[in-house]
A = this chain, B = another copy of it.
């Protein structure tokens, strides 16, 4: 039996009611499909992931990617076939513009497909995820010529892409990077320097690898203002599109990581004794930081999505185990027999703890993704601006909260497996090790919290945030949302008080006091938004003629989330508003 069954029913429910995919597809700019075709596509994609990708997951973990003596990277068995099948089936390209060979569908639908891909093999999924980011950056900032030259093969997956930001002394602090770019007479640049933590920096799944590299042009200003973005292909590409000679790009080593063993995390060297690697400037010099943010925001949502993916995988595996594993005896079980552990209340509680948060995450991330789609093709400028603001507020929540919760969920999944959970052969430990990276890369969750408090909350002096809260408040009032309104209103009040405090900190230039509350604030706001969307979901499932069992389960997951989980977030208010003095007193260095 496969231990993963694509959760198409819940995905379609969220796409339909929370992300409003139908309205998105009606926007000029997107292709349109009837919702039952969407469901068919998702079922087909799910079947594909289970058949082609899932079998590579365990072998990928046990074998891992390996650097060869010739600096090439050998991928685990089955990865090559799975990648080729993925490209052939085109699942990676359906959300890109038809102009470059894509399907023109909303990115939100792509999130759903990506969720299933990631659930079946997280390490494998990073190759398309990074390619996606590279496409976004070239599409947003490249010249028309660059787009038509590079995008079709990236969109099809014939070539893959990478993001090269990090250097040994420039991680979260991107502005500290030192890679150099020297302009050549022909308009190209020679790139030199070392980059670390480059995901899929080297492999042979794709015919070429298009590295997007941040570097400083000689004489550029220091810090983030002097960074430029370059396209640096592994193989140079001739004017006719055929591959030319190898560029001066070398993978020096692979990191030995706790998880995602099959994802090659490379130390990359640009340039060699003969000079630099050939790179092509995107846009103008010194615009690299802003351009890279385009990639990062999309990647952050993708990382949040991986939290959903692994949580779903863990949930199903744990549910199956809890149904099959016999241990202990319930009163209703005959003497001498054992009961399935799912019948023990604490095990069942652990399962509901996972399920309710998993569904809550999916609501949040898909809703966020829909806003990103609206940012591109919303009908009016006002629509687009307002979507952009709200997407900006929600992206740190999607990234940080979903991955924090996913780590916790993976841990609860191990716990449900008991002693077997700690044995690698059982497989659940892999998810625990794999997902741990998600809270770190694409901006640590601490950076996300700082971004939320210092950049997003202050948008229009808190007005964009308040509009979100007003919408929640109105929804709670008008739709009653059952008896869930009390915990939601409590969380609303705590959030409003926090907003007031944090904005005051900024106006009084007490930046550290505000930043000290950033992490608990992110948790509170995440659970408030997720609780609201869950309460909505329950109401919709009840009123829109869904099957009784589905509606009852939605109602239960929403109730569990709002009544048992949300109050612990509301209780973070004192932590959010405690300021920085206590930190300095407690950690006296």
Contact = CB atoms under 8 A, between A and B. Distances in A.
A197 B166 contact: no
19 contacts: A166-B419, A171-B419, A172-B328, A345-B512, A346-B450, A346-B515, A346-B516, A348-B580, A352-B583, A355-B587, A418-B444, A419-B440, A422-B437, A549-B588, A553-B585, A553-B586, A559-B586, A567-B572, A570-B571
Contacts of A419: 166, 171, 197, 440-441
A269 to B, nearest CB: 18
Contacts of A335: 222
Given A256-B423, A342-B589, A552-B588, A574 B583 contact: no
Contact of A568 (B519, B572, B586): B572
Contacts of A418: 171-172, 440, 444
A557 interface: yes
Contacts of A568: 568, 571-572
Nearest to A565: B575
Interface stretch (A289-297, A361-369, A424-432, A468-476): A424-432
Q: Which of A519, A549, A568 has the most CB of B within 10 A?
A: A568
A455 interface: no
A411 B328 CA distance: 32
A16 interface: no
A268 to B, nearest CB: 15
A239 interface: no
Nearest to A346: B446
A51 interface: no
Interface in A213-251: 222
Interface string A251-272: 0000111110000000000000
Contacts of A553: 585-586, 588
Contacts of A140: none
A518 interface: yes
Contacts of A424: 256-258
A414 interface: yes
Contacts of A444: 415, 418
Contacts of A173: 327-329, 338
Closest 9 CB pairs of A and B: A556-B586, A571-B571, A556-B585, A564-B575, A346-B446, A345-B515, A258-B429, A352-B586, A567-B571
Contacts of A425: 256
Nearest to A450: B346
A187 interface: no
Contacts of A585: 552-553, 555-556
Contacts of A346: 446, 449-450, 515-516, 518-519
A589 B570 CA distance: 32
Contact of A415 (B433, B446, B511): B446
Interface in A535-573: 549, 552-553, 555-557, 559-560, 563-565, 567-568, 570-572
A351 interface: yes
A582 B176 CA distance: 52
A587 B348 contact: yes
B519 A349 contact: yes
A256 B420 CA distance: 11
A326 interface: yes
A327 B172 contact: yes
Given A422-B258, A432-B436, A574-B564, A171 B586 contact: no
Contacts of A259: 422
A65 interface: no
Q: Which of A445, A560, A572, A587 has the most CB of B within 10 A?
A: A587
A68 interface: no
A386 interface: no
Contacts of A565: 575
Given A258-B429, A422-B437, A586-B556, A515 B344 contact: yes
A579 to B, nearest CB: 9
A336 interface: yes
Given A258-B422, A350-B446, A564-B572, 16 more contacts: A171-B419, A258-B433, A331-B511, A346-B450, A350-B519, A356-B586, A418-B444, A419-B440, A419-B441, A433-B433, A487-B574, A556-B585, A559-B582, A564-B575, A568-B571, A570-B571
Contacts of A421: 440
A439 interface: yes
A407 interface: yes
Contacts of A552: 585, 588
